[in-house]
Structure 1
Amino acid sequence: MLQLLTFLVEKLLLLYKFKLFDPTWLDGENREPRAHSSGPPPAMRRGDLLEVPRTLFTHFGIYLGDNKVAHLIPDILPVLTDNNKLTGSVITNTRLILGCVYRCATVRVDTLEDFAYGSNILVNRMDKAFCECLKSIIRDQRSVIFTSLLGFISIVYFGMAPATTLPTILVPFTLWMAG
């Protein structure tokens, strides 16, 4: 029982270290500002989560490489026409507002400059801290014991059923193999 308590305290302290419970990370603590110039900055890599501060919200996108960003943006024009030349043009404020009003959005791939629309681009590094936390939990062999114990408790409490038995076997086995 003492080992289990030690394990839980250790994992909570690990989560606290990455400040996952601290709301101040939204204020830019784990973000790195990047200027949007003619080409992508060298520190920006494929798959990075990009943020652009707007007046009332923060716009998010995923960097695809080669100065391209995929993002979800409200747009009314795809509802009105199938013309790819028209829908592929830069979205104007009128199209954006009408897309918000009628709740229509599309996933677009635009250049960094079109995505930024005159604002600074921030690279959010919070996902890397979260991934490191999960990797350390998975690699810890006490996770296998803990999940096995929880699984057997669920079998005793809920009875023998595929919904309880299968996760009791598969989750600890997967953690054991990953560790």
Structure 2
Amino acid sequence: MIALRLFNLFFITSTLEDECEEDRGMKTYDISLYQRGDLLVVSRTLFKHFGIYLGEGRVAHFIPDILPVFTKEKSIVAKMVTNKRLIFGVLAKAASVRVDSLADFAYGAQMQVNSTDSIVSVQPLSGEEVAQRAEKLIGSFSYSLLWHNCEHYVMYCRYGVAFSFQTFQFCKTVRTVLFSRKMAFLSAIIGVFIILYLGAMTPFTTLPIVIIPFTIWMAS
């Protein structure tokens, strides 16, 4: 009971922060600029968010949301997903493909339309087929920031291939940072320091200290 009250206080009670976030959804968009099956992209928090335009000002998108974990009240869940709900949804790996208004999806940001068409080698499907794919997937799914996110969803709907350029770029950056020659030298120095600090060389200490720098060196 106490946990439920705290949840209501934190997520449902109207606060100045929530009101400011919801005001972003009041920005108007000209729906005549979009066609059924268009792939829409907006910048949100630390990443880009993707959706499929269904027509009549509606957008299907796969978005993390913690709220459905605690309540099934449709009138509450249907409200625009704020950054607070989104972040906790990412942490809980809870998400759903849902249909929102164009304004709620965009969250006050500028939208790009079919911007991936120029960088994907696969020809996009017809607009109607894209929209039908998006609609068939409406519902709750597990979420992974790297391996099952909103970009995977729209790429599958529009091109038939679940892929994320954001994930690829992130993994590339991590590889550049972690699997570099500098990191190999640094791990070797740390290993030597650990041996000197422990004052003993055993297979349990020596093997990791040798293998880790060697692996990083070979991968660099």
Q: How does the TM-score come out when normalised to structure 2?
A: 0.40
Bigger share in helix: 2
Q: How does the TM-score come out when normalised to structure 1?
A: 0.49
